[in-house]
Amino acid sequence: MKAVCTALLTILLPACGDVSIKPEAILPKPLIVPIPADVGLIIPAETRKYVDQETRYGIDWKVDLGPGEVRLMRDVFKDLFNHVEEFKDLEGARAAKDLKALFETRVDQYSFVTARETKGRYYAVTIRYRINLYTPRGEKVDSYTLTGYGNSLALGMSGSKPLTQATVGAMRDAAAKFLVQFPEQPAGQQLARNEAVVADKPSTSAEAAQIEAVPIDEPLDDLRW
């Protein structure tokens, strides 16, 4: 009996422990034609160090999103453009030469629900991004809002794996939207002609939908995008 109780305790402990993850999304090579323009990519400190920490039901949840977001942004822009130079702030980027546009990437909000909140069914994540577009001289042209959604079935006792999978799914969802939608924007069409973007009337954002707490009713334990 004692052995049985010990085994049960060993199984249950992971469900009671804190959850700390550092998700990274590896993107498949997109089937797109790169835009023939040289651009600057600004990844500010707030994005590089982005961490979501909160306590629910006595469990501490920590999502260290920064390193994964840096890799994601690099991959997305290198896939989308002919040449990308990376900077840590706008001041450094505007001093560069021969760039057609500057992009600043930010994580506006990270939100998730756990298996406990979905009655043991799944974990779901939403990540809202803001991508600011500037002229080569640093004048703001536009601001695009993208929301990525991800989910994973709640299998097993630990929340680390399904929360990681749901977060990666949200990261990849937002990346896919930007890769597909940006070339259709007026600025994307300018850059496709290898023309520098100019400060004029702002164009329509890539997506302006509000972030949702539970975006998907029937989860798929699948990371395709």
DSSP the chain: -HHHHHHHHHHHHHHHS-EEE---PPPPPP--PPEEEEEEEE--HHHHT-EEEEEETTEEEEEE-HHHHHHHHHHHHHHHEEEEEEESSHHHHHT-SS-SEEEEEEEEEEEEE-TTTTTTSEEEEEEEEEEEEE-TTS-EEEEEEEEEEEEEE--SS-SHHHHHHHHHHHHHHHHHHHHHHGGGSHHHHHHHTTPPP---S----S--PPP-SS--SS-------
User: What pLDDT sits at residue 201?
Assistant: 54
Overall pTM surpassing 0.75 (yes/no): yes
Distance of CA 159 to the CA centre of its chain: 20
Q: Report the C-alpha gap between 18 and 159 in whole angstroms.
A: 9
User: What pLDDT sits at residue 10?
Assistant: 36
User: What pLDDT sits at residue 212?
Assistant: 40
Q: Report the C-alpha gap between 46 and 127 in whole angstroms.
A: 15
Q: Which of 21, 132, 19, 123 is nearest to 68 (CA)?
A: 21
User: What pLDDT sits at residue 148?
Assistant: 97
User: What pLDDT sits at residue 112?
Assistant: 96
**What domains are there in the chain, each with its CATH number?**
31-192 (3.30.160.150)
User: What pLDDT sits at residue 207?
Assistant: 45
Is 108 within 8 Å of 128 (Cβ atoms)?
yes
Is 46 within 8 Å of 89 (Cβ atoms)?
no
Q: Which residues of the chain have pLDDT under 70?
A: 1-16, 157, 201-225
User: What pLDDT sits at residue 157?
Assistant: 63
Radius of gyration of the chain (CA): 20
Is 137 within 8 Å of 197 (Cβ atoms)?
no
